[in-house]
Amino acid sequence: MLRLGGGEILSGYEIHTGITVLGQGVRRWGKIFERSGQAVDVEDGAVAEDGGVWGTYLHGLFTNHSFRRTWLQGVGWSGGGDDWAWEGEYDRLADAVEAAVGWANLAKLMGLK
């Protein structure tokens, strides 16, 4: 679980082994306060001073409805409902990549064969 500077709490998962080094005009984006049900205190991500560029190690970020809606509005979206089947879209993308590249080639690229 990640807490943003404004107090919003986001859930997701982490896959990383790196360390973010902050440069000039960059600050931390949020703080991870829970990992696998255990309390932690780990700063995460980075955001440019003007807010135009940001990043985090938290995956699944856009499954958080409130964050997704706020982010979409921040980039100019003014549409109606934004609830769509994320898992279905990921599956559709995976199917398209597999069909275009072929499973044997994907497995080879991933070092599975």
Q: Which residue has the higher pLDDT, 24 or 102?
A: 24
Q: Which residue has the higher pLDDT, 10 or 86?
A: 10
The closest of 94, 95, 54, 46 to 71, measured between CA atoms, is 54
Average pLDDT over residues 9-18: 84
> Where residue 38 falls among pLDDT bands split at 50, 70, 90?
very high
Average pLDDT over residues 29-43: 90
Rg (CA), the chain: 17
Asked if pLDDT for residue 24 goes beyond 90, the answer is yes
What's the whole-model pTM score? 0.60
Buried b / exposed e across 10-29, counting CB within 10 Å, b at 16+?
Answer: bebeeeeeeebeeeeebeeb
Q: What is the pLDDT of residue 5?
A: 76
Average pLDDT over residues 69-75: 80
- Domain spans of the chain? 2-77, 83-113
Phi, psi of 99 (to 5 degrees): -65, -35
